[in-house]
Amino acid sequence: MKYNLTLLALLLNTLIFISCNGQVKPIGEEPLDLENFNLSTKISDLFSEKDISKEHNNVYEIQGVLHSQIVMKDTVFENEYSENKKAIAIEYLQKSSTSIDTIAFFENQKFQKVNVATALNGKIKVINGVADELTKQQTIELYKKLITKYGKAKKFINSWNNKLTIYEWTAEDRIIRFVSAYNDESTTMKLLIDEDKQTIALGHKETYYVGYLFIINSALKEEVFGKMKKGDFVYLDDYKKD
């Protein structure tokens, strides 16, 4: 009886540890908790084998509200276009999203996209949540949540767009960076398709903000900064003076 109680206690402790310290369900099955994300989470726990596309190589199809969203797996190379190129990371970049999906969250702020980069051994280096179509007030509220949790932020200029400000915090095993970008859809063509009437018309363009939240593994920061050049990761780096 004593053995059974001890075993039960161990099982309960294990369940509590998993619940409090990591995301164990694949992305798409349950929103990812960015605030409490465990950087020791296995990448295989986030992207399940059952979500691997049957039609395309290196593609995952994660479950959305209406249809699957596409995540592309890609290898990152140093000196990619030279004879000395060297594989340094694996990226999982979400290529599609809808406003009604909640792929991740930070407190009550929802994120429609998640991107992940790992070392070649699968250890997570950085995870990124993208919150689309935010109002200015929603952007301010998210920034306030980050200040409340992590304190005063350091400020940097974004290396990809010098009009953008990166806000940075350091906490325990992680570095947190946040960037908000204004989008007036000037480079976007919006089409309204009526299948019944078989007509196509130009849609009304809207203005909004997009929030980019990065959770960086402090132990692997040297493998992150200056190394991420694709997709939403272009918002990660700050401008370095010569």
Mean pLDDT over 96-104 rounds to 92
Taking the CA atoms of 100, 53, 42 and 73 in sequence, report the sign of the dihedral they define: negative
The predicted structure's pLDDT at residue 2: 44
What is the rounded distance in angstroms from the CA atom of residue 44 to the CA atom of residue 155?
34
One-letter identity of residue 197: K
The predicted structure's pLDDT at residue 206: 72
pLDDT band at 17 (very low <50, low <70, confident <90, very high): very low
Look at strands 104-106 and 32-33 and give their pairing: parallel
Residue 23's φ and ψ, nearest 5 degrees, are -95, 120
The predicted structure's pLDDT at residue 7: 43
The predicted structure's pLDDT at residue 188: 59
Query: Which residues have a Cβ under 8 Å from the Cβ of 163 and sit 6 or more positions away?
Result: none
pTM for the structure as a whole:
0.83
CB atoms within 10 A of CB 102: 15
Q: Is the pLDDT of residue 69 over 90?
A: yes
Which segments of the chain does DSSP mark as H helices, in order? 2-21, 43-46, 136-150
Residue 106's φ and ψ, nearest 5 degrees, are -130, 110
The predicted structure's pLDDT at residue 242: 47
One-letter identity of residue 1: M
The predicted structure's pLDDT at residue 9: 44
**Over pLDDT 90: what percentage of the chain?**
69
What is the rounded distance in angstroms from the CA atom of residue 93 to the CA atom of residue 237?
17
Nearest to 177 by CA among 206, 143, 138, 210: 143
The predicted structure's pLDDT at residue 60: 97
Q: 136 and 209 in contact (C-beta within 8 Å)? A: yes
Mean pLDDT over 184-196 rounds to 63
> What are the distances in angstroms from CA 17 to CA 11, 46, 109, 181, 220?
10, 17, 24, 36, 23
pLDDT band at 150 (very low <50, low <70, confident <90, very high): very high
The predicted structure's pLDDT at residue 207: 84
Winning range, highest mean pLDDT, from 174-188, 191-205, 213-227? 213-227
- At 44, list the tokens: 């295989």
Q: Is the pLDDT of residue 37 over 90?
A: yes
Residue 230's φ and ψ, nearest 5 degrees, are -120, 155
CB atoms within 10 A of CB 29: 11
The predicted structure's pLDDT at residue 8: 42
- At 211, list the tokens: 């929030």
Q: Is the pLDDT of residue 88 over 80?
A: yes
pLDDT band at 202 (very low <50, low <70, confident <90, very high): low
